[in-house]
Amino acid sequence: MGRSATLPCTGITNVFREWQRLDTGDTWVQLITLYTGGSTPDLQEKAGLDTFNLRGRFTATADDDFTATITNTRAIDDGRYLCDGSSSGGQIVHTLLTYYMNSASIQPDGPATEYIGGSIQFTCAADSKPAVSFNWTKQGDSSFTATGATLHISNLNKDDSGTYQCTAYHAYDSRTATVLLTVNEDNSQRIVRDITFKPYYAVTAQSTYTRKALTGSDVILPCDYDQTADGDWIIVTWTMRIGGTFQNLYVRTTGSTTNAVASPPPQFAGRMAIDGISNLRLTGVTIGDEDEYRCIVTAQTLSPVTFVNLQVFQQPTGPIVQVQFDPVTFTCTSTGGRPPASLGWSVTENGTPVSVNPTYTSSNNSQGVGDATSTFNFTTTKYGVTYRVQCTASGPDPIQSRTSAVVSVTTEKGGLSPGAQAGIGVGVALGCMAVAGVAAYFFVVKRRKRAGRDKDDGDARNPADRHYENVAHPDQRVASQPPGSGSDDEYDYEVPMETIQPPQPSDDYQELRPAIYQSLQKH
């Protein structure tokens, strides 16, 4: 692509000739016509040049050759072109296929570093048309060759160090890319040269583990090791993949006068120690610790590797339930979980479990820490019904499930007398609004501790131990579980179901705080 293509029309000698292109509907469309039967050649450009976006790029000579040229070729120019001399002049058909190839690249792009006994994989790519093939060579080593987009080298040794070249090619073009690989000895191998081993050590075969931990906790990463006979020398090397390569975190040598401790990355300083012979203890786990670790146990030769995949979770906050009225809506929120908490509801109607259809939303940041919210609502259709609602926040192990306080909502039928309405109007501190002559809804919110509460919730209880809240305006009908409350608390909401004529004052008003009760008596 981007070059010029020449389409000859040699041998077509009719006085009237034309260039055409085949469209997607298998119809030939005129591009340029030429008439040479007059005193001067008559060359005309047709609308088909616009149809195929060829105007200014498709031209033809006004002579016997009638040669066409396409400049700055593009992928859309692919297709069949016809030089037609009508019925007596013959035809020539050309098929144009454009091609291109951008520069080749290798990932990781290097320079790459690995350790003896490890492995590495390079991938070569090139944006091209048509598709490309790949082959690999190594500079200075004519015996090395490989094919395919991926080059994988396992059980690395020092001789594998060098510059590798990938060639991407097709029938029309090719591109190359190179990457430098350096294979080093790790700390444990340098120690090996300074140690006189006693015989008969053995280690287990390669194994893989998964360990889960909460942020801030401690975790032990296992390393397989089996000593089958007496001996003094053993080297334990713990590494972690950082920036695409494994870096030493901790090296421990037992029974040797030569010991070496790797200098770990700063984020691990002071948080690692060998537990027992070969296991690694990591304290104060952070989200950044989540990755793959490997342990190498060395005796006389390098052992197979133990891989440990550490997964880090964060305990979400205990769920908080909020209640909103008109309609009755419950919202449960839990924050700071990794992953965001799963939220479930337990709802009963007069002690009988009922099903609800909650919605669930969650969001998380780049570290996977996020908040979760679940909401459901229902319309009360009868009075004298008590709904008990509780929310549970949970997650995968090791996240612990936590439950909210139990919220009880009781539907009631009732109203206030005109004098009571006026008294509540004076009691602005309770947030109530009254309209003279019109009955008002009211909600009584009672906070009751499960442990040690009286069997009878009537007047026998100490009024000072109770909490009341009256709501008279729909916009104020919102209540929530107080911050810091636990699942041992229970909150009751009495919800009126209908408006009726105000009743005469009764003992029910004794439930109001003394100051408000006295205010009501004045009216």
pLDDT tens digits, one per residue of 428-445: 223 333 323 333 333 333
- Same structural domain, 421 and 490: yes
Cα(175)–Cα(177) distance, integer angstroms: 7
Per-residue confidence (pLDDT) for residue 206, from 0 to 100: 58
**31 shares a domain with 137:** no
Q: Walk across the sheet containing 133-138 and list its strands.
A: 112-115, 174-184, 162-169, 133-138, 141-147
Which of residues 488 and 466 earns the better pLDDT score? 488
Q: Which residue has the higher pLDDT, 111 or 477?
A: 111
Do 345 and 229 share a structural domain?
Answer: no
What CA–CA distance (Å, rounded) separates 31 from 45?
6
Q: Give the pLDDT confidence score for residue 492 in this predicted structure.
A: 56
pLDDT of res. 378: 75
pLDDT tens readout for residues 5-52: 999 998 887 889 999 999 988 999 999 999 988 889 999 999 999 999
If asked whether residues 333 and 373 sit together in one domain, one would say: yes
386 and 409 in contact (C-beta within 8 Å)?
A: yes
- Give the span between the Cα atoms of 234 and 201, in whole angstroms: 9
Q: What is the CATH number of the domain that holds 263?
A: 2.60.40.10
pLDDT at 456 over 50: no
How many residues can be counted in the chain? 523
State the DSSP code for 98: -
Q: Distance between CA atoms of 439 and 127, rounded to whole angstroms?
A: 77
Whether pTM > 0.85 for this model: the answer is no
pLDDT higher at 153 or 267:
153
Query: Which carries the bigger pLDDT value, residue 193 or residue 263?
Result: 263
What pLDDT, in 10s, does the model give residues 135-178?
Answer: 999 999 999 999 999 999 988 888 999 999 999 999 888 999 99
Element (H, E) at 279: strand 279-282
Do residues 167 and 111 both lie within one domain? yes
Better pLDDT: 235 or 308? 308
pLDDT band, very low/low/confident/very high, at 101 (cuts 50, 70, 90): confident
Q: How many domains does the chain have?
A: 4
β pairing state of 5-7 and 489-496:
unpaired
Q: Assess contact for 109 and 179: CB atoms under 8 A.
A: yes
Out of 154, 184, 214, a domain closes at: 184
pLDDT for res 58:
95
DSSP code string of 43-83? EEE-THHHHTT-TTTEEE-SSSS--EEE-S--GGG-EEEEE
Question: Whose CA is closest to 434, among 420, 446, 448?
Answer: 420
Specify whether 303 is located in the same domain as 364: no
Specify whether the backbone of 47 is left (phi greater than 0), alpha (psi in -120 to 50) or beta.
alpha
Pair 385, 517 in one domain:
yes
Provide the pLDDT confidence category of residue 337 given band limits of 50, 70 and 90: very high
pLDDT at 174: 93
User: Per-residue confidence at 458, pLDDT binned at 50, 70, 90?
Assistant: very low
Question: Quick check: helix, strand or coil at residue 258?
Answer: coil
- Residues 495 and 376 placed together within one structural domain of the fold: yes
Based on the domain organization, do 167 and 201 belong to the same domain? no
Tokens of 160: 């594998």
pLDDT, tens digit, 9 for 90 and up, residues 64-90: 889 999 999 988 999 999 999 877 678
Q: Which of the listed residues 131, 160, 184 is the one where a domain comes to its end? A: 184
Flag whether pLDDT at 464 surpasses 60.
no
Quote the crossing angle between the two packed helices 514-521 and 418-426, to the nearest 10°.
Answer: 130
Model pLDDT, residue 218: 93
The chain-wide mean pLDDT, for the chain, equals: 74
Which of 465, 404, 412, 467 lies closest to 443 in space, CA to CA? Answer: 412
Looking at 313, 342, 360, which one is the last position of a domain? 313
SS3 108: coil
Residue 266 shares a structural domain with residue 202: yes
Query: What is the structure's pLDDT at 27?
Result: 93
The DSSP 8-state label assigned to residue 507 in this structure reads G
Q: Do 287 and 368 form a contact (C-beta atoms < 8 A)?
A: yes
Task: Read off the tokens for 204.
Answer: 């287990």
At residue 263 the predicted structure's pLDDT band, cuts being 50, 70 and 90, is low
Write down the pLDDT at residue 252.
Answer: 64
CA 47, 53, 54, 56 torsion-angle sign: positive
The answer on 504 and 357 residing in a single domain is yes
Residue 489's domain comprises 317-523
User: Cα separation of 196 and 503, whole Å?
Assistant: 100
Do both 88 and 19 map to the same domain? yes
What's residue 203's pLDDT?
Answer: 47
Q: What is the pLDDT of residue 225?
A: 66
Q: Nearest 5°: phi and psi at 194?
A: -100, 5
pLDDT digits (tens, 9 = 90+) for 175-227: 999 999 998 875 444 433 333 333 334 445 457 888 999 999 999 988 876 55
80 vs 275, which has greater pLDDT? 80
Q: What is the pLDDT of residue 33?
A: 94
In this structure, the dihedral spanned by the alpha carbons of residues 343, 348, 354 and 356, taken in order and rounded to 10 degrees, is -30
